[in-house]
Amino acid sequence: MTGFPGGTSISRLSVYEGQCADGLAGGTPHLHTASTEAYVVVAGAGELHTLDASGFTATPLRAGSTVWFTPGTIHRAINHDRLHVVVIMQNAGLPEAGDAVMTFPTEVVADPSAYAQAAALPLDADPTTISDAVYRRRDLAVEGFTQLVTAAQQGDLTPLHDLYAAAVALVRPKIAGWRETWTATVERETHRTDQLLDALARGNGEHLRHSVLYESPSTDPPRWGMCGRLGAHDVTHPTVLSGVPSP
């Protein structure tokens, strides 16, 4: 059985509407350490605020917008009017395993225990308690993000570089597990494409006899993500609607 094309994952994002500490509505600023992320805007309007080595950028988002950003790009979704996005993530399984690092203030990100405590959400709590925790976490990340943007606008990228170093230290213990996930998904899919190209070059189209239609129903209810409520899809265990998968 094959996963979603290219070893990617997909989810539906309803960006948070509640105001942050700085008066803007939207999500929690964060970066990914190994995976590129794409937004395909399907409804509403907003902005994508990003920070990287070239500085701060505000990109308008509206229905039809498609943007993507590579590892290290700090990003924050701003909701102006019921912003809804389809999110496509590279390296399915890695973002879910902690590929993202939120932009908490330096003293928090530099301390793994403090970071874990700030990032955690209560388990088995009522929705109000969870939402309050989500917004507190978001406001703390906005505080750190604001500090990073202010420094960058003054020509000082040292805080950004310090965040990158802290992010690497946070995820480094997870890399062995990530590599196992990557090998079983992305690398496997790439190897399969290589085999298909070799077969086609030989005039062998046997794989066409094993074409399959899959469906991945959404996992309900939506979960509390960093940027909004996420309607996730389990692309690793899809339902076969037609066809005969290869052995």
What is the CATH classification number for the domain harbouring 219?
Answer: 2.60.120.10
- Residue-wise pLDDT for 128-173, tens only, equals 899 999 999 999 999 999 999 999 999 999 999 999 999 999 999 9
Residue 108 lies in a domain: yes
Domain, as residue range, for 135: 5-235
Pairing, β 74-89 against β 212-215: unpaired
Residue 242 lies in a domain: no
Residue 243 lies in a domain: no
pLDDT of amino acid 1: 43
Residue 50 lies in a domain: yes
pTM, to two decimals: 0.91
- The residue-averaged pLDDT of 99-116 equals 96
Phi, psi of 207 (to 5 degrees): -65, -20
- Name every residue whose Cβ is closer than 8 Å to that of residue 179 and which is 6 or more positions away in sequence: none
- Residue-wise pLDDT for 51-84, tens only, equals 999 999 999 999 999 999 999 999 999 999 999 9
Residue scoring higher pLDDT (237 or 203):
203
